[in-house]
Amino acid sequence: MRTVWTMGFVAAAALSFCFPDFIVFRFTQAAIWAIALLGLVVLCGISGQFSFAQAALFGIGGYATAMIGNHTPLSVYWGLPAGALAGYAAGWALGRIAGGHSVWTQALVTYAFAIAFPQLLRWRLVEGWTGGVNGLYLDFPVPPAGLSNDRWTFLLALALLGGGLWLVRNLVDSRSGRAMRAARDHEVAATAQGIRVVEVRAIASGLAGALIGLAGCLSSFQFGYVGPGAYGFGLSVQMLFGLVIGGLQSPAGAIVGGLFLQFFPDLTAGLGRGLSGLLYAVLLIAAILVMPRGLAGAAETALAKLRRTPSVP
């Protein structure tokens, strides 16, 4: 499977040179969605937590990059580690506060953070750094080897997505991943086995924040702008929708969800806002009832059944 995944990523990188920039731009956005959803796979699927804070974590990564580009002599590439570290710190703090409580409390705490974040960006004490209501613009550095901005951003996002998938796949199979799943499945039993549930959940929340913050950095690269209006509560709901459709317990579900979030709106654009919203609601209910593990989980189940089916001579 590692060979298959590697060949897929190499093929995607090669194909990016066969398409015009506006198509590459759209697939870049799909890869950015996938990195953010990969963080939610860690948070919701592996560790069993719930969050509405992903829009704020996405914004933290974007603003970390923009502030480095606007207020320091450093290259905006430093925004990648800075955004990931800032996302980890914010995610870890949220997990530390809400990780020991019920899912409902986690939802309320993260909802409050998501609502407060855009207002914090407009606060007078920090608007000199954040740009206030006007936001911040940033200039993307000259890409290497004569590549266009869109193609270089796609290759960068693809490489980071591959690294994120490798990290999450190894996390699932590791001792830490088993501890996260144990805390998800039965908190009391996990505690009895010596697992510090709150600390494990805080680490999972931090890793999720790092991936989502990294996606926010790439998004600021792509659009060259960050502003308070770009990180509203609707963005959090949109990411959760993509997670449910793609599959919240599978790293491959993050890729499926990213492609869905980017390209499915094209199919509903002609229906109008009301009918498209209704279609989204119906699709979400259908996915929960018919495919509780998402499209990726349904595909894995179908492949497992095919392997178990004896061949007829």
pLDDT tens digits, one per residue of 160-212: 999 999 999 898 888 988 999 999 998 889 988 889 999 999 999 999 999 99
CA distance linking residue 96 with residue 213, whole number of Å: 18
**226, part of any domain:** yes
Could you tell me the pLDDT band of residue 119, with boundaries at 50, 70 and 90? very high
Higher-pLDDT residue of 74, 297: 74
Q: Mean pLDDT lowest for which of 9-13, 151-155, 248-252, 269-273?
A: 269-273
pLDDT of 12 over the 70 cut? yes
**116, part of any domain:** yes
pLDDT at residue 271 in the model: 63
pLDDT at residue 84 in the model: 95
CA distance linking residue 6 with residue 237, whole number of Å: 31
**133, part of any domain:** yes
Asked if 108 and 53 touch (Cβ cutoff 8 Å), the reply is: no
Say which residues have a Cβ less than 8 Å from residue 278's Cβ, sequence separation at least 6.
none
pLDDT at residue 269 in the model: 67
CB burial of 102-138 (b: ≥16 within 10 Å; e: otherwise) equals eeeebbebbbebbbebbeebeeeeeeeebbbeebbeb
pLDDT of 99 over the 70 cut? yes
Q: What is the mean pLDDT of the chain?
A: 88
Q: How many CB atoms lie within 10 A of CB 66?
A: 28
- Span 100-122, average pLDDT: 92
pLDDT at residue 33 in the model: 95
Q: Supply 281's token pair.
A: 């609601």
pLDDT at residue 117 in the model: 94
- Span 104-129, average pLDDT: 92
pLDDT of 68 over the 90 cut? yes
Residue in 223, 263, 265 with CA at minimum distance from that of residue 58: 223
CA distance linking residue 82 with residue 72, whole number of Å: 13
pLDDT of 112 over the 90 cut? yes
Q: Supply 201's token pair.
A: 């959940």
pLDDT of 313 over the 60 cut? no
**268, part of any domain:** no
Could you tell me the pLDDT band of residue 27, with boundaries at 50, 70 and 90? very high
Q: Supply 11's token pair.
A: 């093929």
**95, part of any domain:** yes
pLDDT tens digits, one per residue of 221-273: 989 999 999 999 989 988 998 898 888 888 888 999 999 989 888 777 666 66
pLDDT of 312 over the 50 cut? no
- Span 5-11, average pLDDT: 84
Domain range spanning residue 63? 2-231
SS3 92: helix
Share of the chain above pLDDT 90, in %: 51
Quickly tell me which residue has 């709106």 as its tokens.
265
Asked if 204 and 43 touch (Cβ cutoff 8 Å), the reply is: yes
Q: Supply 64's token pair.
A: 């970390």
pLDDT tens digits, one per residue of 264-311: 887 776 666 656 667 777 777 777 777 777 888 777 777 777 777 655
Task: Name residue 105's amino acid.
Answer: T
**15, part of any domain:** yes
pLDDT at residue 110 in the model: 94
Quickly tell me which residue has 């590439």 as its tokens.
77
**214, part of any domain:** yes
CA distance linking residue 79 with residue 67, whole number of Å: 8
* Structural domains of the chain, count: 1
Q: Which residues pair with 226 in a beta bridge?
A: 136
Q: Which residues pair with 137 in a beta bridge?
A: 225
